[in-house]
Chain A
Amino acid sequence: MSTRLLELQELSMYFGGIHAVDSVNLHIEENEVIALIGPNGAGKTTVFNCTTGMYTPTTGKVMISSPNVRKQEDIADCRPDVIAKKGLARTFQNIRLFLEMTTLENVMVAYHIHLKSTIWDVLFGGSKVRKEESHMVKKAYEYMGMVGIAKYAHELSKNLPYGVQRKLEIARALATKPFLLLLDEPAAGMNPKETEELRNIIISLRKQVSIFLIEHDMSLVMTLADRVYVMDHGKMIAHGRPEEIKQNPEVIRAYLGGDYA
């Protein structure tokens, strides 16, 4: 039986009177690619923010169970860094890289949670730290290789082309070794060629990590996702396999207006 890596139970997030997310239920199983779609302002990113600890949900539970532990726990009140250590990693809709640092360093920062050396090792130690560092650099190159940006290793990330920055966000998230990767509109602003590359990256990644995807590019969603959730005005209005979602009158109404349904 496959485990539910992530399960949102009656998740709600209110900002004053605005119900950004309203009693949302959602689950992701092992080795799945799940897409969350919906019109602008539907509350998709808020779901992400609640899941990764940026917001503390008003009510509801965020249950995770990592494939290693296989025991559900509620992370609704955890800080983002704690959640990252538990194995959920995310990217951001509006790219948030460490701009004055190199590509390699960006990835290394994310890998830090696996390092063991303490401040005393760093101040007075020798080979142990060096070994750990060089191992980390090697791993970082691997992660950059996975998304095909290793040749930019020593460039400042602020100088990278837009598409590469997006890929770097993915590489950085991967470096935390997550069991669930949350991608917030990874294809936003990309040209068709870059989107195609992204599709291949995601296909190659899904062998190792489950993916939770927010995306507006429907061709990407329909070809990649095993199941699709649709949100509108903070509510989950539909969920099912991609071909079912395409036919769903509720979804068409949400996107195109009542007359087309």
Chain B
Amino acid sequence: MNRNSIHTAIFTAIWFALITFIIVGVQVNTIDGSMQWHPGRAVFIAIVSFLLSLLWQRVFTVQDIDLTEAKNARNTFWIGYFTHGKNIFRKIRTVGIEAKKKHKTVLLLIISIPLLFLPLLGLYQTKVITSVLVFMLLALSLNVVVGLGGMLNLGVASFFAVGAYTYALLNYHYHVGFLIGFIAAALVSLITGVLVALPVIRLKGDYLAIVTLAFGEIVRIVLENWSSFTFGPSGISNVVRPKFFGMTLNLQHVTGYIYYIAFIVVVLAMFFINRLEHSHYGRSWEAIREDGLASQAMGVDLAKTKMLIFAIGALLAGVAGVVLAISTGYINPKSFTFWQSIIPLCIIVLGGMGTMSGVLLGAIILVWLPEYLRVFSDYRFLVFGIILVVMMIFRPDGLIRKTRKEYQ
């Protein structure tokens, strides 16, 4: 451990404490309008980020190890982590794929550990992050359909609604519990996806966008008008919350519990999408996006593949719907407007089409930040517009550019 890394760590600690202070250090009591200060939390964050920064530097600054050496001996490599120090990025390149994998794992761990303790920050923060996770799921869905499959889907809100309403209605009419309701909702939205795909796979580009857009509106209008079954615009309240192994939790705990459910669902979704993306399925999806006719000539079954893409997209959106239903406990057709189709699209455009980390970053910027910038909420759409225009000029590929996996 040298002086430089301690300097960096201190700097990081102060920086993190400062920028997170408005979020965790100040609590506004909306009832009596008073403010509560929590300087202790800032100190806590400073200490944690100091330690994380040290760990980070340890992990990433390993002296240039010979490529073959690193590949041959994993052991040497792990020791290398703790005995060397210097240039991060050059090292990542030289040590190659093995190292990249390990770095990614460590990086993910560093990011996810604080997320595990998030409910300690209170009800409001937990709810906000849960809604961010819901939009992450929607964006992951679109990431598959638009980013990988290249089919512009403007009706993701419809599958979102199908998932949420299936869960809520099954529960209301048939008293189905959480787990079965969850699975049923996922299945129903998957089937809806396949049914929508049947006519849609024949269409391309703009026409496909229009049909999906129309489907989104149809679902919403049906929900609004089928009063006897869906309770129309008044929606469904008191959607059943999941029980914790048979125990009914209080509001505080159930919010945390739902957050964990959402967190796990997102992680699982990312895991499986990642697997698919780097398998022959994912490559066929991208081939279809690049050139449908050529991929068909190479033996890709267009109809079947597009159907699968749509089904997976619908499944993810449906699951997002269930998470929304349990986290808010109340749904109505207004939760599934065109806007709910557009935000996830903005997320992937901003983050970078077809990239997983882009989805996460985009969701944080477009869903999480606005929660804390409520002061500017009147200008939200203006800011969105400006962001997107600027993006299109300077980074048309999105914030995170897609790097291709190098198969060895």
Q: State the interface size on chain B (CB cutoff 8 A).
A: 29
Determine if B298 and A176 form an interchain contact, defined as CB atoms under 8 angstroms apart: yes
- Alpha-carbon gap, A16 to B222, bound state (A): 43
Supposing A54-B293, A122-B276 touch, asked if A137 and B407 sit within 8 A by C-beta, the answer is yes
Q: A80 to B79, alpha carbons, bound, how many Å?
A: 54
Cβ contacts A2-40/B at 8 Å (1 or 0 each): 000000000000000000000000000000000000000
Known: A54-B293, A98-B291. A110 touches B280 (CB 8 A): no
A-facing residues in B267-302 (Cβ within 8 Å): 272, 275-276, 279-281, 283-284, 286-287, 289-291, 293-302
In Å, the complex CA distance between A145 and B71 comes to: 25
CB atoms of A92 and B294 under 8 A apart: yes
A108 located at the interface, meaning its Cβ lies under 8 Å from any Cβ of chain B in the complex: yes
B364-408 to A contact mask, C-beta < 8 Å, 1/0:
000000000000000000000000000000000000001010111
Q: Which residues of the other chain, A, contact B283 by a CB distance below 8 angstroms?
A: 101, 105, 108-109, 112
Q: Is residue A100 contacting chain B, with contact meaning CB distance below 8 A?
A: yes
**Docked CA distance A226–B280 (Å):** 38
Q: A84-B298, A101-B283, A101-B287 are in contact. Are A108 and B293 (CB under 8 A)?
A: no
For A52-78 the 0/1 string (1 means CB < 8 A from B) is 101000000000000000000000000
**Which residues of chain B are within 8 angstroms of A80 by Cβ–Cβ distance?**
293, 296-297
List A contacts of B302 (CB < 8 A): 81
Which of B290, B295, B296, B299 contacts A99 (CB under 8 A)? B290
Cβ contact within 8 Å between A98 and B294? yes
Tell me the nearest residue of chain A to B298, going by C-beta.
A110
The minimal Cβ–Cβ distance linking B100 to chain A, given in whole angstroms, is 14
Cβ contact of A89, chosen from B281, B287, B289, B297, cutoff 8 A: B297
A96 vs B296: C-alpha distance when bound (angstroms): 11
Q: Which A residues from 117 to 165 make CB contacts under 8 A with B?
A: 117, 119, 122-123, 129, 133-134, 136-137, 154, 156
Check if A241 is an interface residue, CB within 8 A of chain B.
no
- Which of A81, A105, A137 sits near B301, CB closer than 8 Å? A81
Shortest CB distance B353–A (Å): 10
Determine the chain B residues whose CB is within 8 A of the CB of A253 once the complex forms. none
| A156 proximity list for chain B (CB < 8 A) | 404
Mark interface residues in A87-99 (1 if CB within 8 Å of B CB, else 0): 0011010001111
Q: Return chain B residues, CB-CB under 8 Å to A133.
A: 279-280, 407
- The interface residues of chain A lying within 8 Å CB-to-CB of B276 are 119, 122-123
Q: Is the CB of A109 within 8 A of B279?
A: no
A109 and B295 in contact (CB under 8 A), knowing A98-B290, A122-B281, A123-B276? yes
- For the complex, give the distance between the alpha carbons of A85 and B300 in Å: 9
CB within 8 Å of B: which of A233-249? Answer: none
Interface size on A, residues (CB 8 A): 40
A155 to chain B, nearest CB (A): 9
Q: Contact check: which of A52, A105, A108 meets B297 at CB < 8 Å? A: A52
Q: What's the Cα separation between A156 and B275 when bound, in Å?
A: 21
Assess whether A97 is in contact with B298, with CB atoms less than 8 Å apart: no
Q: How far is the CA of A173 from the CA of B294 in the complex (A)?
A: 10
Q: Which residues of A contact B296 (CB under 8 A)?
A: 79-81, 84
Residues of A within 8 A of B297 (CB): 52, 54, 80-81, 84, 89-90, 92
**A163-200, CB under 8 A of B: which get 1 and which 0?**
00000000011011000000000000000000000000
The residue from B275, B286, B299, B301 contacting A123, defined by CB atoms under 8 A apart: B275
Quote the shortest CB–CB distance from A181 to chain B (angstroms): 12
Is there contact, CB below 8 Å, between B290 and A100? yes
Supposing A122-B276, A122-B281, A123-B272 touch, asked if A98 and B293 sit within 8 A by C-beta, the answer is: no
Contacts of A98 in B (CB 8 A): 286-287, 290-291, 294-295
Minimum C-beta distance from B146 to chain A (A): 14
Cβ contact within 8 Å between A96 and B291: yes
Least CB distance, A81 to chain B, in whole angstroms: 5
State whether the Cβ of A102 lies closer than 8 Å to any Cβ in chain B: yes
Do A100 and B407 touch (CB < 8 A)? no
Q: How far is the CB of B294 from chain A (nearest CB, A)?
A: 4
What distance in Å separates the Cβ of B198 from its nearest Cβ neighbour in chain A? 17
Q: Is the CB of B291 within 8 A of A112?
A: no
Contact yes or no, B408 A137, CB < 8 A: yes
- The 8 A CB mask of B8-38 against A (1 = contact, 0 = none) is 0000000000000000000000000000000
Report whether A81 and B290 are in contact in the complex, using a CB–CB cutoff of 8 Å: no
Given contacts A85-B299, A92-B294, 15 further A-B contacts (CB under 8 A): A54-B297, A80-B297, A84-B296, A99-B290, A100-B289, A105-B286, A109-B295, A109-B298, A110-B298, A115-B280, A122-B281, A123-B276, A129-B279, A133-B279, A154-B404
Q: List 17 A-B contacts (CB under 8 A).
A: A79-B301, A81-B296, A84-B299, A92-B297, A97-B290, A98-B290, A100-B290, A108-B283, A109-B284, A113-B298, A117-B280, A119-B281, A122-B279, A123-B276, A137-B407, A137-B408, A175-B298
Q: Which residues of B contact A (CB under 8 A)?
A: 272, 275-276, 279-281, 283-284, 286-287, 289-291, 293-302, 308, 402, 404, 406-408
Closest 7 CB pairs of A and B: A84-B299, A98-B290, A113-B299, A96-B294, A110-B298, A122-B279, A80-B296
